[in-house]
Amino acid sequence: MARKVVCPPNKQARANQHFILAVYNASFFSARSIDFAMSENDEPEKLWGGRFTEATDAFVEDFTASVDFDQRLAQYDIQGSIAHARMLEQAGILTSQENSAIVDGLEAIGKDILAGNFEWSTELEDVHMNIEARLTERIGDAGKKLHTGRSRNDQVATDIRLYLRDSIDRLCDQIVHVQRVLLEIAKREAQTIMPGFTHLQVAQPVTFGHHMMAWVEMLARDLERFSDCRKRVNTMPLGSAALAGTSFPIDRNYTAEQLGFSHPCSNSLDAVSDRDFLIEFAATASLVMIHLSRFSEELVLWSSAQFGFIELSDSFCTGSSIMPQKKNPDVPELVRGKSGRVIGHLMGLLTLMKSQTLAYNKDNQEDKEPIFDTVETLKNCLLAYGAMLANMKVNPKTMYQAAKTGFSTATDLADYLVRKDTPFRDAHEIVGKAVRLAIDTDRELAELSLKEFQRLSPNIGDDVYDILTVEGSVSSRNHFGGTAPECVLQAVKNAQARLPTRESKTEQ
Ligand code: ARG
C-alpha cells in the first residue's frame, strides 16, 4: 500500500511502529499457524473426503463453511429430505424399512435442533452435511442412502425456496396487519382535515383518512408483488441433482406435491443455479422498505414541534441524555435507516449473480446472509409499524390550523371562477393576484372583502366564501379516488373487501 509520509518519523516513533506491526502480524499469523496444525487431526470425517489425501486447511475449512448461518434452514432441509426419502421409497430405491428409519431419524433430529440439543460442527461445513452425518450416526447405513439421486446443489436451492415461501407468507400477514391498523385510522379520521403537500409546501387541503389510505394502497401493491414473486419461488429444484439430473428413476412430481411446490423446475442446470427469485424477493422487500422509509420521514416531521400533527406513544420514542425536554422518534428513524441495508442486500445479490456461469457455483453460498437479514429486517420493521401506528395520537386541531394557512384553497377559487365562465388561465391569474394581495396585507384568502374580490373579477359573488373553507374544498373532491370524507369511507370499505378474511396464523 502506498503511504505518503509528510515528514520522516523520528527513530523512536519508527521503533514503536515496528513493534506495533510485529505484534499485529504475530497475532494474525500465529492464529493461522495454530489452525494449520489443527487441521491434521481432522474429525469428524468429511462426507466428500474419498478422493482427498490431505486434510483441509483449517482456515479454508472455516472460510468455506456456512453452518454458522445456514443452520437456519434446518427444518426446511429436514422437510425436503423426508419428501426425498419417501419418493425414493415409492420409486423402489429405498426399502420401506430404510425409509421409515430415515423419516423417524430426521424427525427426531428436527426436534433436537428445536430444543437446542444439536451440536453443529464446522468441519461438516453446512446444515445439509451436519444433518446427514447425524442421521447416519443415529440410524446407521440407511442414513448413507438418503443422498441417492440428490446433490447439495438441488438440496440447498430447495431449502432456500421453502424458507422463502414461508417467509413471504409471514411477511404478507404482517403487511395485512399494518393495513388493518391504517384502515382503522382512516375510518376514524375520514373527516379530519390536514394540509396536503407538494414540494413539501402546502398545496390543497386533504383528509387525514385519505392520506392513510395512500399508504394502504402502497402496501397493497407490495402484497401483489410478493404474491407474484411467490409463484416463481414455489417451483422445485430437487431431482436436478448436481446439475444434470440423475440416472435413478425418480418421480419429481411426487416430491413436489409433498412439499407443496406447484411443479418441478423444468431445466436441471437452471434449477441449481437460479437465484432470480431471491433477487425478486429482495427487490420487493426493498420497495416495502422504501414505503416504510417514506412513511417514517413523514412521521418524523409530523411529530416535530413545528408540525405537531401527531404524537407517537412514549413507548416508541426515546429521550436525550443531555436535553431533558427531548422525545425522539427513534423507531421511524431506525426504520428509515434500515431501508439502506435492505437495498444494499439487493445490490449484493445482483452483483453475486452477474458473472456466474452455469450451473452451481460456490458463490451462491453468499446468497443466504443477505436474504436472512432482509427477512429479519422487514419482519421487525413491520412489527414496529403495526404497534407504533396503533398507538399514534392524531392532533386534528393543529392539522386543521395548518390546512387553513398557505392559501390551500386557491385552486378552489380558480375552479369557482371557471364555473362562472372565466377561462381557467384567466382564473389562475386572478387568483394569483388575490393571493398577492393577501400576502401583502398579511391575511388569508377568506379574509379578503367581497369588494376586494370583485375588483379582481366581477364574476365573484358572496357565495365565494363557502368554497374558500377547507371543509368545502375537501368535500367538493368527492369522486372515486378523491379526498372527500365519504370517498375515504368508501375507499376503506373497498380495501377491506380486498383483504384476506383472516390473517393466516403464523408466529412472528
Ligand atoms: N453450503 C452450500 C451453499 O450454500 C451448499 C451447496 C454446496 N455445493 C457444493 N457443490 N459445494 O450453496
Positive/negative CA dihedral, 139, 145, 150, 153: positive
pLDDT of residue 502: 61
Å from CA of 263 to ligand 1 middle: 23
Q: At what angle do helices 74-90 and 127-139 cross, to 10 degrees?
A: 60
One-letter amino acid of 107: E
What residues contact 415, with CB distance under 8 A and at least 6 apart? 427, 467, 476
Q: Which atom of ligand 1 is nearest to the CA of 367?
A: 4
Å from CA of 156 to ligand 1 middle: 7
pLDDT of residue 43: 57
pLDDT of residue 503: 55
Å from CA of 155 to ligand 1 middle: 9
* Given 30, 33, 313, 320, the catalytic residue: 320
One-letter amino acid of 304: S
pLDDT of residue 31: 44
Would you call 477 exposed, middle or buried from its count of C-beta atoms within 10 A (0-12, 13-18, 19+)? Answer: middle
Q: Which of 365, 371, 372 to mutate to test the pocket of ligand 1 (most atoms within 8 A of CB)?
A: 365
Å from CA of 106 to ligand 1 middle: 20
How many helices and strands, by DSSP H and E, does the chain display? 20, 6
What residues contact 177, with CB distance under 8 A and at least 6 apart? 382, 386, 503
Å from CA of 364 to ligand 1 middle: 7
Q: Which atom of ligand 1 is nearest to the CA of 126?
A: 1
Phi, psi of 201 (to 5 degrees): -110, 145
Å from CA of 294 to ligand 1 middle: 38
Indicate if 147 belongs to the active site.
Answer: no
The one-character DSSP state at 423 is -
Three cell numbers, residue 431: 387568483
Task: List the residue whose alpha carbon is closest to atom 2 of ligand 1.
Answer: 365
Indicate if 128 belongs to the active site.
Answer: no
Task: List the residue whose alpha carbon is closest to atom 3 of ligand 1.
Answer: 365
Q: Which atom of ligand 1 is nearest to the CA of 152?
A: 6
Angle at CA of residue 131, ends 126 and 132, nearest 5°: 100
Residues in the chain: 508
Q: Which atom of ligand 1 is nearest to the CA of 364?
A: 12
pLDDT of residue 45: 77
Task: List the residue whose alpha carbon is closest to atom 11 of ligand 1.
Answer: 362
> Strands (DSSP E) along 175-272, which ranges?
193-198, 201-207, 235-236, 263-264
Å from CA of 165 to ligand 1 middle: 20
Cα dihedral: 179, 181, 184, 186 (round 10): -60
Cβ atoms within 10 Å, residue 76 = 20
Task: List the residue whose alpha carbon is closest to atom 4 of ligand 1.
Answer: 365
Q: Which of 362, 364, 369 to mutate to test the pocket of ligand 1 (most atoms within 8 A of CB)?
A: 362
Cβ atoms within 10 Å, residue 71 = 16
Please state whether 480 falls in left (phi above 0), alpha (psi between -120 and 50) or beta: beta
Q: Which residues does ligand 1 sit against, CB inside 6 Å? A: 66, 70, 126, 152-153, 156, 360, 362, 364-365
Q: Which atom of ligand 1 is nearest to the CA of 368?
A: 4
DSSP codes, 137-205: HHHGGGGGGTTTT--HHHHHHHHHHHHHHHHHHHHHHHHHHHHHHHHHHHHHTSS-EEEEEETTEEEEE
Q: Which of 77, 153, 164 to mutate to test the pocket of ligand 1 (most atoms within 8 A of CB)?
A: 153
Q: Which domains does the chain have, with CATH numbers?
A: 67-148 (1.10.275.10), 153-255+265-401 (1.20.200.10), 410-468 (1.10.40.30)
What stretch of H or E contains 311? strand 310-311
Rounded Cα distance, 120 and 113, in Å: 9
* Given 177, 199, 266, 273, the catalytic residue: 199
- Side-chain half-sphere CA neighbours of 488 within 13 A: 29
pLDDT string in tens for the chain (508-residue length):
333 333 344 444 444 444 444 444 444 444 444 444 344 444 567 887 788 878 888 999 999 999 999 999 999 999 999 999 999 999 999 999 999 999 999 999 999 999 999 999 999 999 999 999 999 999 999 999 999 999 999 999 999 999 999 999 999 999 999 999 999 999 999 999 999 999 999 999 999 999 999 999 999 999 999 999 999 999 999 999 999 999 999 999 999 999 999 999 999 999 999 999 999 999 999 999 999 999 999 999 999 999 999 999 988 887 777 777 778 999 999 999 999 999 999 999 999 999 999 999 999 999 999 999 999 999 999 999 999 999 999 999 999 999 998 899 999 999 999 999 999 999 999 999 999 999 999 999 999 999 999 999 999 999 999 889 999 999 999 999 999 999 999 999 999 999 987 655 443 3
The one-character DSSP state at 44 is S
Q: Which atom of ligand 1 is nearest to the CA of 127?
A: 1
